[in-house]
Amino acid sequence: MNTPTWALSAAFTFSLAAFGCSKSAPPVAKPTPLTTLEIKKVSADLSKPDPAASYWKDAPEGLVTLLAQPMIAPRPETTTTDSVIVQAVHDGTRAAFRLRWKDTEKSEAGRLGEFSDGLALEFPLRDGPPPPVMMGAKDMPVHLFHWRAQYQRDKEQGKPSIKDLYPNQSIDMYPHEYKEAPVGSPSAAEKFSPGVAEGNPQSYAKTGVDEIVAEGFSTSSVQEGHGSLAQGAWANGEWTLVIVRPLVIDGGSTLKPGGTSNIAFAVWQGGKGEVGSRKCLTMQWTPVKVQ
Amino acid sequence: MSKVKNWHLKREVEYPYDGSRPSRQWAIIFDLNKCIACQTCTLACKTTWTSGKGQEYMFWNNVETKPWGGFPLGWDMRVLEKLGRQEWNQQGEYLGKTLIEAAPAHERVLHFAPTDEDWMYPNVGEDDCAGAKMEGGGHMATMPHDKWFFYLPRTCAHCTYPACLAACPRKAIYKRPEDGIVLIDQTRCKGYGECVRACPYKKSMYNPHTRTSEKCVGCYPAVEEGVQPQCVVNCIGKIRVMGFVSPPEKARDDNPVDFLIHKLGLALPYYPQLGLEPNIYYIPPIHADREYLRQMFGPKVDAAIERYKKLPDDAVAQGLLCLIGSTDRIMHRFEVNKGMAVGFDDKGAELVRVPVVEPVIERAAYDDKLGAIRNNTP
Ligand code: SF4
Ligand code: SF4
Ligand code: SF4
């Protein structure tokens, strides 16, 4: 596949133009490009992700540039999310990342043909030379923390029922829920709900963020979580999201106080049909320094 | 991209994976001259497989009225529109592009993505007639008829080169080497819906309850037991037969499916130009508009219809058509002799025996013994 160099220049020109033309908007100091993400130690309780917490005021912020995923189809035709503003802090046991990016509509998926807004943080799973930034490679795994607005909705309101998604739908009966029928049992109903029957994590209520391990394209698989949490808020065409993860994860990526690592980012705009490999992402690792 | 052999198009086509044909290929043949749109097949599938939550709208088997009907809405016109005009040559070789060849660089398959609403009218256009303006006089005096419609029953085609499989970035879709049935791995699917977008026949469907995609499973548990799928064995019109189709070089004249497809050229794949080598085959309806049929079944449709008209002279073909719908089991071989048609299973055991022509028995209209009028109501 060709890496489109034009995409870089097009995105660059676009952001300049957008910046230069916004005469009516109050002047906002544009964060500088993020060269190293410093995770500052704070004396705060990070056990609850809080996008509006006061410690974010003093945390340095930097901007990472995203491009439409260029390596494998299907991919977005153009870059839909060109940057994310990143901040990070830690409390000795957990690290919290605050991410802000523009998205004109909030998308939580649910019905047919609808997709969710999302963001993923990626870390090398092991120490040593960093793996290929796009999903790692065989024996060079990456560790992802994948938040979706859809997963957050699950956490806040429970997994939506068909009635929630389609308030006007009606059905005579679900045969497996018809109590008097010999086939009407919860286990029969589950059997005919294949994702549920197979224990696919996708078919169960989510906690907000999925932990995923991958060793190259098409290999990602959802793992047992390590208590990572997320909370996002959408307002005025912008998402503000906090993802909290343990610093040290046994058998997973680790951020040791005083140590270094790498991080990368991906964003999905559900309203633009982005899902899976249709995403915008950072094209290289950003070095991480943990205070 | 690999180059794989597509015998429907008489040429090699591009496909993201290497070609490897299954040892047997699941296939269904439908005689469109006989379908009555009773939807028994649709309900047989529905009650067997899709009566759960999130499957309310799903019809893995559906029957739509052509040309106006479509589930989801306008699926065929919308994908043909994307592909644009393409050509076949006189020898039945496809000169145009397939959906994979025509895909832009950022997509794996040229497609249209159906919306929620597109799925909500499963039987739109039912019995709507096409053709010239309705005015006085006879409308079925010509063949093909100048006013026409026909019923098109459809399942997943368990394509030799499935677009759904090609499009899945998670490699969650696989084609079984033993029978060619295409399945979505319900443990790996993450509901990206790439298969829903990519399948031109729109036979992969998203389940909003499990948040994974689902599709026709070819009734594999039955097939593994030597039994034909639910939508086949329940067909009221006895218009369907399921069997295993061979590529042309391996075709056997005594295999019912091969006989109708290869030997007679009577059953044709639908929209073969899309390039997937779909494995549901149709005996085209002889009364419908030819231009429309050529678009749907390709250039061999005229020969197939001529062949169909000659069936009264072909005792073997007639015998086989009588066997269709006469057994629940999968016929691997058939023979017709002395006015009897016989079907056999894969071990050579006889499954069913039927007369090619039912004997006609004439009886008096009044039964003296019972003192009752006889009638022909079965
Ligand atoms: S059951 Fe048979 S005749 Fe009835 S609609 Fe289905 S294919 Fe047609
Ligand atoms: S008909 Fe569609 S869903 Fe079925 S195998 Fe072919 S591409 Fe896949
Ligand atoms: S083969 Fe089985 S699963 Fe597929 S449409 Fe027919 S009844 Fe449904």
Contact residues, B window 132-191, toward A, CB-based 8 Å cutoff? 167, 169-171, 186-191
Whether residues B9 and B79 share a domain: the answer is yes
Quick check: is B97 in a domain?
Answer: yes
In a domain, B317, yes or no: no
CB contact under 8 A, A113 and B207: no
Q: Is residue B68 part of a domain?
A: yes
What is the CATH classification number for the domain harbouring B199?
A: 3.30.70.20
- Give pLDDT, residue B136: 65
Q: Look at residues B246, B263, B292 and tell me which one is the last residue of a structural domain.
A: B292
Q: Check residue A7 and give its pLDDT.
A: 38
Task: Count structural domains, chain B.
Answer: 2
Q: Is the pLDDT of residue A25 over 80?
A: no
Q: Both B356 and B266 in a single domain? A: no
Taking the CA of B28 as reference, the closest ligand is 3
Asked if residue B166 lies in contact with residue B100, where contact means CB atoms within 8 angstroms, the answer is yes
Kindly identify which residue of chain B lies nearest to residue A220, measuring between CA atoms: B170
Contact with chain A for residue B14, Cβ under 8 A? no
Question: CA–CA separation, A182 vs B91, rounded Å?
Answer: 58
Chain B residues with CB under 8 Å of A202 CB are: 189-191, 210-212
Does the pLDDT at position A29 exceed 80?
A: no
| Most A CBs within 10 Å, among B47, B209, B215, to test the A interface | B209
Q: Are residues B216 and B350 in the same domain?
A: no
- What is the value of pTM for the model shown? 0.92
Give the nearest partner residue to A195 out of B170, B192, B210, using CB atoms: B210
Q: Which residue is associated with the tokens 């560790």?
A: A143
Percentage of chain A lying above the pLDDT 70 cut = 88
Nearest ligand 3 atom to alpha carbon B48 = 7
Q: Is the pLDDT of residue A20 over 50?
A: no
- Does residue B210 share a domain with residue B76? yes
- Model pLDDT, residue A18: 38
What pLDDT, on the 0 to 100 scale, is given for residue A183?
Answer: 64
Which of B265, B292, B319 is the C-terminal boundary of a domain?
B292
Residue pair A58/A73 in contact (Cβ under 8 Å)? The answer is no
Q: Is B360 a member of any domain?
A: yes
Biggest distance spanned by C-alpha atoms of chain A: 70
Which pLDDT value is given to residue B82? 97
Same structural domain for residues B259 and B333?
A: no
pLDDT at B138: 66
User: Which residues span the domain enclosing B360?
Assistant: 329-378
- In angstroms, the CA A174 to CA A189 distance is 8
Is residue B275 assigned to a domain? yes
Whole-complex ipTM: 0.89
Asked which of B245, B263, B292 is the last residue of a domain, the reply is B292
Give the gap in angstroms from C-alpha B170 to the nearest C-alpha of chain A: 4
**B263 and B359 belong to one structural domain:** no
Q: Give me the tens of pLDDT residue by residue for chain B, a chain 378 residues long.
A: 999 999 999 999 999 999 989 999 999 999 999 999 999 999 999 999 999 999 999 999 999 999 999 999 999 999 999 999 999 998 999 999 999 999 999 999 999 999 999 999 999 999 999 987 767 666 677 889 988 999 999 999 999 999 999 999 999 999 999 999 999 999 999 999 999 999 999 999 999 999 999 999 999 999 999 999 999 999 999 999 999 999 999 999 999 999 999 999 999 999 999 999 999 999 999 999 999 999 999 999 999 999 999 999 999 999 999 999 999 999 999 999 999 999 999 999 999 999 999 888 888 999 999 999 988 765
**Distance (Å, whole) CA B23 – CA A162:** 41
Chain segment A96-120, per-residue pLDDT in tens: 999 999 999 999 999 999 999 999 9
Specify if B305 maps to a domain.
Answer: no
Long-range contacts of A175-183 (CB under 8 A, 24+ apart): A175/B47, A175/B51, A176/B51, A176/B52
B348 and B225 part of one domain: no
Task: Give domain A29-159+205-290's CATH architecture.
Answer: Sandwich (2.60)
- Which residues of B fall within a CB distance of 8 Å from A7? none
**Best to test chain A binding among B14, B49, B53 (most A CBs inside 10 Å):** B53
Decide if pLDDT at A19 tops 90: no
Q: Long-range contact list for B117-121, CB < 8 A, 24+ apart?
A: B117/B73, B118/A113, B118/B72, B118/B73, B118/B74, B118/B75, B119/A112, B119/B57, B119/B71, B119/B72, B119/B73, B119/B205, B120/B57, B121/B71, B121/B73
**Which residue type sits at B60?**
W
Name every chain A residue with its beta carbon within 8 A of the beta carbon of B207. Answer: 193, 195
Q: Which residues line ligand 1 (CB under 6 A)?
A: B 35-41, 63, 151, 153, 235-237, 239-240
Ligand closest to CA B173: 2
Which residues, listed in sequence order, are joined to residue B26 by a DSSP beta bridge? B244
The beta-carbon neighbor of A175 closest among B51, B192, B206 is B51
Which of the residues A135, A200, A281 would you substitute to probe the B interface, choosing the one with the greatest number of B C-beta atoms within 10 Å? A200
